[in-house]
Amino acid sequence: MATASNFIRLVGEHLRMIRESKGMNQEDLAEKAGIARASISEIENGKGNATLGTLEKVMDSLEVAPMEIFNFQNLSDTKDVTDK
């Protein structure tokens, strides 16, 4: 079983993929979500453990449901994704 840090990294990678698919950069998302760009960077790089409140702001800004954030099927080539 993968560690929690792997889970956090997977969430961050998936958020980055969703953000990029919507044509947004980190600054755009940070402004729309009302949080610091550095926070977006930390989350996407698996270095920040986002609160549920922060994740909610990011999901609202990206206009995605929680289920989409935690669906890692599109990250099938990412190490440890099969453990999730």
* Mean per-residue pLDDT, 17-31: 97
Instruction: Give the CATH architecture of domain 4-65.
Output: Orthogonal Bundle (1.10)
5-16 tens-digit pLDDT: 888 999 999 999
* Mean per-residue pLDDT, 51-75: 90
Q: Nearest to residue 43, comparing CAs of 74, 19, 65?
A: 19
pTM of structure:
0.79
pLDDT of 75 reads 63
Q: Nearest to residue 54, comparing CAs of 40, 44, 64, 41?
A: 40
pLDDT of 77 reads 53
